[in-house]
Amino acid sequence: MFKSLRTLLNALFTDITSTFITLFAIGILVCGLLTAFGGEENQAKFKRGLVVCIGGLIVFLLAKPIVSYFQTHL
């Protein structure tokens, strides 16, 4: 049992980039669907969540180039 759990955790954390891109994509999909088909009272919350997921994905994808830029130029 622990061996399968260990292999799952190793698979998740060895390629952390694809894991987080998948998580952000799921968040964008869920927030988008709930914004489109959810009730009016919660629509504003899901729109903010959608913006946060898109912003998080952009920051995550740009973090490595930004850090390397500052390391070479400063």
Domain limits, the chain? 20-73
Higher-scoring residue by pLDDT: 12, 30: 30
Residue 8 has pLDDT above 90, yes or no: no
Q: What is residue 42's three-state secondary structure?
A: coil
Identify which of 29, 15, 38, 36 has the alpha carbon closest to the alpha carbon of residue 57: 29
Give the pLDDT score at 59: 92
Higher-scoring residue by pLDDT: 38, 1: 38
Give the pLDDT score at 12: 73
- pLDDT tens-digit series, residues 16-72: 888 889 999 999 999 999 999 988 898 999 999 999 999 999 998 998 899 899 999
pTM of the model: 0.73
Radius of gyration in angstroms for the set of CA atoms belonging to the chain, rounded to a whole number: 17
